[in-house]
């Protein structure tokens, strides 16, 4: 009898220990809203929603920019960007395995700093928009198969969320470090990149070892509506097709243990090539047909990108130096720019005691096509240089000063090089 009692107590304690461990493990996996968000865990509501498959994110960015020399004229302006994100894990919500719904709605306000003060090719601030409005940037459903090696997505979708992306370039304020300029200049109302998503279908195949992937998308050829910038607009007009082949070598992630926390390495290893083409045709910059009308040509191009971790601090694997390089081409007969190239570096934790800060330097060259140069007697290029430092003041608050130098803004020989000072404030709610 005593043996049975002891056995019963042992089993009971084991189950209690397992349950406690499972609860601790779940708690560890939950985001740390109380520490990393200004509004915290909303009295536990965020955690409860997350456990049920509902994740809500709120972010605001405010940029103050000042052109201190050159460009169109001196001046200062403010730009604001607020976004709300909702992720639904439908396996938890409805029992649909490996299925996700993602909604991203944003509002953009402020002066048109580049238009009024600088006059660069495609802007100096990645949250500046043509018209102040609020709209859906993402609204899609994704279904994964075969242990996530096959992924299908459909809905309102921007290609700059997955195509032509280098994470290390995301530090910078200049638009050219998001979607590269030679592709960003294309289309009847731009391509489906910030701030506009468009109806699309995307498929992605990943190798079992996660070392290789191929992804392709077919999107509406004209995001938004050129005649109306208010709210979410959908007007079907042709298509844009894009495909990307990537190599993402997997390696063991270094981990260092401090006194009370574990520090996981921030590593970047990616090389990819991509190709894109519009179904619609566009006017040649100069060639005309026998009737005196512009020759119509396809808009198409290709790109190469690579980013890598170059140095990791031995005792702090989350800190170190990484860099990126991108090179892209677009049809020279119909576009102002026929190729662009950018290179940049960032150091996470450059200064002692500022482990979460990131310093960066990058440069982009936008090369004018021969026909554009001939028609506009322009400079052969616009070159954009940016130096920036993102200071993580609180887990939910970052301040990021920057200096940008724009050489030959918009390739205009009559405009002096512009010097732009900026300060971004980013708050995670």
9 within some domain = no
Hey, how many other C-beta atoms are within 10 angstroms of the C-beta on 80?
A: 15
User: What CA dihedral angle connects 278, 279, 285 and 287, to 10 degrees?
Assistant: 140
Residues 271 and 213 sit within 8 Å (Cβ to Cβ)? no
Cα separation, 218 vs 200, whole angstroms: 6
**Dihedral pair phi/psi, residue 170, rounded to 5°:** -65, -10
Q: Is the pTM of this model over 0.85?
A: yes
> Tokens at residue 224, please?
């938004």
Cα separation, 95 vs 369, whole angstroms: 53
pLDDT tens-digit series, residues 133-166: 999 999 999 999 999 999 999 999 999 999 999 9
Cα separation, 333 vs 376, whole angstroms: 14
3 within some domain = no
The structural domain count of the chain equals 1
Residues 323 and 167 sit within 8 Å (Cβ to Cβ)? no
* pLDDT score at 201: 98
23 within some domain = no
* pLDDT score at 256: 56
143 within some domain = yes
Residues 255 and 222 sit within 8 Å (Cβ to Cβ)? no
pLDDT tens-digit series, residues 304-324: 999 999 999 988 888 999 999
* pLDDT score at 10: 37
* pLDDT score at 227: 85
Hey, how many other C-beta atoms are within 10 angstroms of the C-beta on 87?
A: 16
Strand pairing partners for 383? 365, 407
Is residue 4 predicted with pLDDT exceeding 50?
Answer: no
Burial of 294 (0-12, 13-18, 19+ CB in 10 A): middle
* Residue of 286 and 231 predicted with greater confidence: 286
281 within some domain = yes
H helical segments located in 95-196: 113, 181-184
Helix/strand/coil percentages in the chain, nearest 5: 20, 50, 30
**Dihedral pair phi/psi, residue 353, rounded to 5°:** 85, -5
* Residue of 391 and 11 predicted with greater confidence: 391
Residue 212 sits in a domain of what CATH number? 2.40.160.180
* pLDDT score at 17: 39
237 within some domain = yes
> Tokens at residue 92, please?
């938890």
Structural domain range at position 312? 31-428
pLDDT tens-digit series, residues 169-202: 999 999 999 999 999 999 999 999 999 999 999 9
* pLDDT score at 264: 72
Is residue 11 predicted with pLDDT exceeding 50?
Answer: no
Region of poorest pLDDT, from 15-24, 27-36, 111-120, 188-197: 15-24
* pLDDT score at 315: 85
Hey, how many other C-beta atoms are within 10 angstroms of the C-beta on 362?
A: 24
> Tokens at residue 409, please?
């803004």
Q: Round the average pLDDT of the chain to a whole number and report it.
A: 91
pLDDT > 90 in the chain, percent? 83
pLDDT tens-digit series, residues 86-116: 999 999 999 999 999 999 999 999 999 999 9
* pLDDT score at 213: 98
Is residue 129 predicted with pLDDT exceeding 90?
Answer: yes
102 within some domain = yes
Q: Which helix (H) or strand (E) holds 92?
A: helix 90-93
15 within some domain = no
* pLDDT score at 29: 76
End-to-end CA distance of the chain: 59
């Amino acid at each position: 009898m005593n043996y049975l009692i002891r056995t019963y107590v042992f089993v009971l304690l084991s189950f209690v220990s397992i349950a406690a461990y499972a609860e601790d493990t779940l708690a560890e996996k939950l985001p740390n809203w109380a520490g990393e968000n200004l509004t915290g865990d909303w009295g536990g509501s965020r955690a409860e929603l997350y456990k049920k498959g509902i994740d809500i994110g709120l972010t605001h960015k405010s940029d103050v920019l000042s052109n201190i020399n050159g460009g169109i004229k001196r001046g200062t302006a403010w730009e604001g960007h607020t976004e709300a994100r909702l992720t639904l894990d439908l396996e938890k919500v409805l029992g649909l395995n490996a299925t996700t719904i993602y909604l991203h709605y944003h509002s953009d306000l402020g002066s048109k700093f580049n238009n009024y003060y600088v006059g660069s090719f495609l802007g100096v601030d990645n949250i500046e928009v043509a018209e102040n409005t609020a709209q859906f940037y993402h609204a899609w459903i994704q279904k994964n198969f075969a242990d996530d090696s096959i992924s299908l997505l459909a809905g309102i979708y921007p290609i700059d969320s997955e195509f032509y992306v280098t994470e290390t370039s995301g530090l910078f304020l200049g638009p050219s470090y998001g979607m590269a300029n030679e592709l960003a200049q294309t289309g009847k109302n731009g391509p489906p990149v910030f701030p506009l998503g468009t109806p699309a279908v995307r498929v992605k195949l990943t190798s079992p070892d996660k070392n290789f992937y191929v992804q392709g998308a077919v999107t509406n050829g004209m995001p938004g509506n050129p005649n109306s910038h208010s709210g979410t607009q959908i007007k079907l007009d042709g298509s844009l097709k894009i495909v990307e082949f990537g190599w993402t070598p997997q390696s063991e992630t270094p981990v260092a243990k401090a006194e009370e926390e574990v520090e996981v390495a921030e590593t970047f290893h990616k090389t990819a090539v991509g190709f894109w083409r519009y179904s619609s045709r566009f006017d040649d910059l100069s060639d005309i047909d026998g009737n005196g009308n512009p020759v119509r040509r396809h808009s198409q191009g290709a790109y190469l990108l690579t980013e890598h971790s170059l140095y990791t601090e031995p005792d702090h694997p989350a800190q170190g130096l990484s860099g990126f390089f991108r090179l892209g081409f677009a049809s020279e007969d119909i576009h102002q720019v026929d190729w662009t190239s950018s290179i940049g570096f960032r150091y996470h934790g450059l200064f002692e005691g500022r482990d979460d800060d990131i310093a960066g330097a990058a440069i982009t060259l936008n090369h004018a096509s021969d026909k554009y140069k001939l028609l506009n007697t322009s400079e052969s290029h616009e070159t954009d240089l940016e130096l920036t430092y993102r200071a993580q003041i609180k887990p939910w608050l970052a301040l990021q000063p920057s200096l940008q130098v724009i050489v030959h803004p918009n390739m205009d020989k009559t405009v002096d090089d512009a010097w732009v000072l900026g300060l971004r404030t980013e708050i995670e709610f």
